[in-house]
Amino acid sequence: MKYIDVVIDNKSEHTDMLYTYGCSEDEIQVGQKVCVPFGKGNRIREAYVFRVVDEPEREYPNLKFAESLDPDICLTEEMIRTCIWMKRRYLCKYIDAVKCFVPAGSKSKRGKKRNPYKDAEGEQKPEPELTAEQEAVLRPIRQAIQKGSHRRFLVYGVTGSGKTEVYMRAAQQCVLSGKQAIMLVPEISLTTQVIERFIGRFGAEKIAVLHSRLSLGERHDEWMRIKNGEVKIVIGARSAVFAPLKKIGLIILDEEHEATYKSDMTPKYDTVEVALKRLQSHKGVLICGSATPAVSTYYRSEHGIFERLELTKRYNQTELPEVAIVDMRSELKAGNKTMISRALYRQMTEAFEKKKQVILFLNRRGYSTFISCRECGMALRCPDCGISLTYHKEENRAVCHYCGHNEPLPSVCPQCGSAYIRHFGAGTEKVEEAVMEMFPQARAERLDLDVTKRKGSIDRILNRFKKGTIDILIGTQLVAKGLDFRNVALVGIISADVTLNIPDFRSPERTFQLITQAAGRAGRGEEKGRVIIQSYTPENYAVRLAAEQDYKEFYEAEIKLRSYMGYPPYSDLIQMVFSSKEEAQAKGAAEGWFEKIQQALPEAQREYLFRPQAAPMKKIKEIYRYSMMLKCPHGMRQAYTAVLERIKEAEKARKKNYTVTIDINPYSFI
């Protein structure tokens, strides 16, 4: 007879705690899925064992007994420890964390197992010889994996420097050492080449692929294959970090800087953090790889938290493309009011004459519009936060989405006095139209998230582009990621200013990354490629240094700014969103929390909490939203989240007419 503490699979905040049951099964283990009677009606509910003890901590007058255990689903102690850690770190419920580890689907009815990649042949290529640089990078990685020491590496390697080969060799070492590896990629549908290479090298039977396009049954089967130890390497998007492997020797995050590694659903976890937590238990190795590391990651590699390894040479010795910036202010002065500069037009014409292909980037304007001067390029920014102000139509004002600072819309540019100051963003959609008009004979295709939603259409469009049945690919960031097209001679970035003016402290970082990645798409064949960046602020450091392909210089400039403004990595940002059907309730909840947090903070730290403000898209599906931001300076994060945890706990006792969602270091602010 054992006593077990379980977490009930139940959506309520109120039951988010451990319940003690009796269990006659002496073999019961932490992580086991069980069925227990719960509540007054003793309805049978699913639950997960978090603790097993011989004697209960106190008397339970009406102790109940667990009824049965699920033979298939059993998490390890390490996974349960990670769940407990996640609850505290992301302020989610136990069950939310548990759900990350268990497969969503149930056992497939037909006992037949399906491996979606069973028939994939893989890219059959002999193992290439490693370059001296790759050898040097692999040496410490292999050593760490072999010795089973928990170490963290940043592999900073320029595009085309052979990072994937390094990953594969590291994974090979991991398998040789009797451990398993997880290979994470930002977006599975754009990573078929990587999967093919892994399958070609290791064989389909040793690899599991996890992603959202799998059916529930397929996902369950893959999960079981992994759990039963049939699989050596798991490839997948961020959720694959939860793969039920027994001995994790290695976790790789490819394109480490990508936003998709931060979950925007509950629990709002950060993949690197979860990976590190798991690897601590497994004494495993973390590899973060990127050609444009996140500023916070590079900072860690400067301060001994990550060991930095560099790949500086392009694998096949192809030259970096020639990058030119076009000053859109002078285009306007010269009377060109279209979104295509004369230089870009010329280059496109030339490319088509040579039967080459063109990629145009048009960044989605997203949810906000910034205000800038078309004559001098200046964009309105918050005097306190340094981020772009957003145009609010209703009040005709410019508003800061971090602190709420707002000012009336100027009628003339405060810098140069021009009357050509207006809100920007709209109009980028017209690029496709403009291009069609300028090049009616060219076959253009658009690739963005709307198109992507239709299953399989990414691959279809990309295949057509590869075959050459499309001349111009017009796309968003999607197209920038790791695609390898030989025949692309020219990449045009329609407006670098759009990403630059997204109201987020990371906008320079993202601009730099986008331009660099986009540039990497040009000239992958024998001929040198060309890149044209159009901007109203060509002197901006992010635009200029991206054109020069100078990451380190950019990092130095950016980290100074972060330090000065107190943004990550010098702080953590916490966003709270309060939503309700009634506007007054959402507002009231936000203000109530504001007061409570203020009271909990020492007076000198109250400036770190910004006043709540209505979300720009105030009403989504009849729900009103208010948001508020808390900046946690160095080392204060735990103390601050503990304050929020206490308030959340206290609010739970009352009946609430609102919901609060807390996002630690969100990727976008609303």
Return the range that interacts with DNA (CB under 7 A); candidates 19-27, 93-101, 378-386, 503-511: 19-27
Return the range that interacts with DNA (CB under 7 A); candidates 12-20, 482-490, 591-599, 643-651: 12-20
35 is in an annotated binding site: no
User: Considering the complex, what minimum distance in angstroms separates the CB of residue 90 from DNA?
Assistant: 19
Q: Quick check: 654 binds DNA (CB under 7 A)?
A: no
User: Considering the complex, what minimum distance in angstroms separates the CB of residue 36 from DNA?
Assistant: 7
Strand 571-580 with 659-664, pairing: antiparallel
Total binding residues for DNA by CB under 7 A?
22
From the number of C-beta atoms within 10 Å of its C-beta (0-12, 13-18, 19+), residue 85 rates as middle
Judge contact between 380 and 371, C-beta under 8 A.
yes
Interactions with DNA, residue window 21-80 (CB under 7 A): 21, 36-43, 60, 62-64
User: Considering the complex, what minimum distance in angstroms separates the CB of residue 42 from DNA?
Assistant: 7
Measured between alpha carbons, how far is 215 from 235 in angstroms, rounded to an integer? Answer: 16
User: Considering the complex, what minimum distance in angstroms separates the CB of residue 12 from DNA?
Assistant: 3
Q: 64 or 397: whose CB is closer to DNA?
A: 64
Q: Residue 105: which residues within 8 A CB-CB, separation 6 or more?
A: 215, 216, 217, 218, 219, 220
User: Considering the complex, what minimum distance in angstroms separates the CB of residue 38 from DNA?
Assistant: 4
The SS3 call for residue 160 is coil
Q: Give Cα separations from 156 to 142, 179, 289, 313, 458 (angstroms).
A: 17, 25, 6, 11, 28
Q: 15 or 29: whose CB is closer to DNA?
A: 15
Is the four-CA dihedral 329, 333, 335, 341 of positive or negative sign? Answer: negative
Judge contact between 377 and 556, C-beta under 8 A.
no
Tokens representing 100? 């990350």
Q: 20 or 29: whose CB is closer to DNA?
A: 20
User: Considering the complex, what minimum distance in angstroms separates the CB of residue 652 from DNA?
Assistant: 9
- Strand-pairing partners, residue 661, are 577
Helix (H) / strand (E) containing 240: none
Return the range that interacts with DNA (CB under 7 A); candidates 5-13, 111-119, 432-440, 573-581: 5-13
| Amino acid, res. 500 | L
Q: 6 or 226: whose CB is closer to DNA?
A: 6
Q: For tokens 């060219």, what's the residue?
A: 442
Return the range that interacts with DNA (CB under 7 A); candidates 18-26, 284-292, 344-352, 514-522: 18-26
Q: 15 or 280: whose CB is closer to DNA?
A: 15
413 is in an annotated binding site: yes
Q: Quick check: 124 binds DNA (CB under 7 A)?
A: no
Tokens representing 259? 């936003």
632 is in an annotated binding site: no
Q: Residue 286: which residues within 8 A CB-CB, separation 6 or more?
A: 151, 152, 153, 250, 251, 252, 253, 272, 275, 276, 279
| Site string (97-116) toward DNA, x via CB under 7 A | --------------------
Measured between alpha carbons, how far is 511 from 255 in angstroms, rounded to an integer? Answer: 15
23 is in an annotated binding site: no
Cis peptide before 267 (omega within 30 of 0): yes
- Strand-pairing partners, residue 114, are none
- Reference 189, options 515, 513, 482; nearest CA is 482
User: Considering the complex, what minimum distance in angstroms separates the CB of residue 2 from DNA?
Assistant: 13
Interactions with DNA, residue window 328-387 (CB under 7 A): none
Judge contact between 263 and 183, C-beta under 8 A.
no
User: Considering the complex, what minimum distance in angstroms separates the CB of residue 95 from DNA?
Assistant: 11
Q: Quick check: 178 binds DNA (CB under 7 A)?
A: no
| Amino acid, res. 155 | V
- Strand-pairing partners, residue 45, are 36
Judge contact between 53 and 3, C-beta under 8 A.
yes
User: Considering the complex, what minimum distance in angstroms separates the CB of residue 227 from DNA?
Assistant: 28
Measured between alpha carbons, how far is 34 from 48 in angstroms, rounded to an integer? Answer: 6
Among 1, 2, 7, 19, binds DNA (CB under 7 A): 19
User: Considering the complex, what minimum distance in angstroms separates the CB of residue 660 from DNA?
Assistant: 12
Return the range that interacts with DNA (CB under 7 A); candidates 10-18, 111-119, 242-250, 395-403: 10-18
Q: 5 or 445: whose CB is closer to DNA?
A: 5
Exposure class string for 32-66: b at 16+ Cβ within 10 A, else e = bbbebebeeeeeebbbbbbebeeeeeeeeeeeeeb
Q: Quick check: 591 binds DNA (CB under 7 A)?
A: no
83 is in an annotated binding site: no
The SS3 call for residue 116 is coil
Is the four-CA dihedral 464, 465, 466, 467 of positive or negative sign? Answer: positive
Q: 337 or 654: whose CB is closer to DNA?
A: 654
User: Considering the complex, what minimum distance in angstroms separates the CB of residue 35 from DNA?
Assistant: 12
For DNA, the binding residues (CB under 7 A) are: 10-15, 17, 19-21, 36-43, 60, 62-64
User: Residue ranges for the binding site for Zn(2+)?
Assistant: 373, 376, 382, 385, 400, 403, 413, 416
